[in-house]
Structure 1
Amino acid sequence: MLTWIEVTACGAGGGLIAEAVVTFGRLHAWQQARHAARASTSPLPAFGAFVDPLADSLSALFRVALGGAAAWLLHAEVTGVYAAVTVGASAPALLAQVGRASTAADALRGPGSEEPGEASSRPSPPRAPAAREDAAP
C-alpha cells in the first residue's frame, strides 16, 4: 500500500502525463498545418496560433494539482502506482462527476449504478401469452 505522499505524487504525475498528451495534440496540429502550408506554398502558420504558453502553462499547472488532489482524496482506495497515475490522469472528469453527485453515495456509485431494491432499467423477461377465453379447455 502506498503512502498518501506517494499516491499524491503519482497522481500529479498522471496529470502531467495527460497534459503532455494534450500538448502533443496541439504540436501535432501545428506540424500538420505547416506541412499543408509548405505543400501549397502558403505562409507558414505561427506557433502561437496553436500554443498559448501562458494559458497552456496555467492549464498544465492546474491539471497536475488536480491530479495530485484527486489521488490524495482517494488515497485509501488507491492500492498501486498504476491506479494512482490513472486517478491523476482522469482527475478533471473524476472530480466533475463527484461535483455533480448529490450525495457521497451517488459519487461512489457512479453513473448507471443501482441501489439494491431500485427499479431496474433492464427489460423484464418475456411472459407467456395469456390464455384466450374463447379457446376450448
Structure 2
Amino acid sequence: MLTWIEAVGAGAGGGLIAEAVVAYGRLHGWQQARYEARATNDPLPPLGRYMDPLADSLAALVRVALGGAAGWLLHTEVTGIYAAVTVGASAPALLAQIGRATTPMQALRPPGAEVQGALAEPVTPEETLPVRRETAS
C-alpha cells in the first residue's frame, strides 16, 4: 500500500502523462496540417491554430491537480505506483463517475454497465427481446 504522499505524487504524474498525450495529439495535428500545406504550396498553418498556451496550461494544471486528488482519495485502495499513475491519468473520468453516483453500487460499476441481481431494476420482457417487425410484401 502506498502512503498518501506517494499516491498523490504518482496520481499527479499520471495526470501529467495524460496531458502530455493530449498535447502530442495537438502537435501531431499541426504537423500533419503543415505537411499537407507544403504539398499543395498553401500557407503554413500557425501553431496557435492548434494550441492555446494559456488555456492548455490551465487545463494541464487542473488535470495534474485532479490526478493528485484522485491519488489522495484512493490511496488506501491503490497498491502500487502503476495503479496510482493509472488512477491519476483517468482522474477526470473517474471523479466524474463517482460524482454522478447516487449509491455506492453505482460508483463501483463502469459507465453504461447494468447492475445484475437483486439490486437491478425490474425489466419487462419487451425491453430484453428484440422486436422483429415484418413487412407485408
- TM-score clears 0.5: yes
Number of residues of Structure 1 aligned to a counterpart in Structure 2: 122
> For residues 33-82 of structure 1, what are the alpha-carbon distances to aligned partners after superposition, in whole Å with 9 as ceiling and x for unaligned?
00000010000000100010000000000000000001110111000000
CA apart distance, 1:100? 1.0
**In the alignment, which residue of structure 1 is the partner of 2:72?**
72
Moved over 6 A (4+): none
**In the alignment, which residue of structure 2 is the partner of 1:92?**
92
Letter in 1 for 2:97: Q
**In the alignment, which residue of structure 1 is the partner of 2:32?**
32
**In the alignment, which residue of structure 1 is the partner of 2:48?**
48
Say which one has the larger Rg.
1
Which shifted more, 103-112 or 57-66? 103-112
Matched-pair identity in %? 70
Letter in 1 for 2:118: G
Letter in 2 for 1:41: N
User: TM-score, normalization: structure 2?
Assistant: 0.82
Rate the CA distance shift 1:113–1:80 in 2: closer, same or farther, 3 A. Answer: farther
- Tell me, in whole angstroms, the C-alpha distance in 1 between the residues paired with 2:20 and 2:109: 30
**In the alignment, which residue of structure 1 is the partner of 2:57?**
57
Q: Does the residue aligned with 1:107 lie in a helix, a strand or coil?
A: helix
Gaps of 5+ in 2: 126-137
Gaps of 5+ in 1: 124-137
Q: CA RMSD in A?
A: 1.8
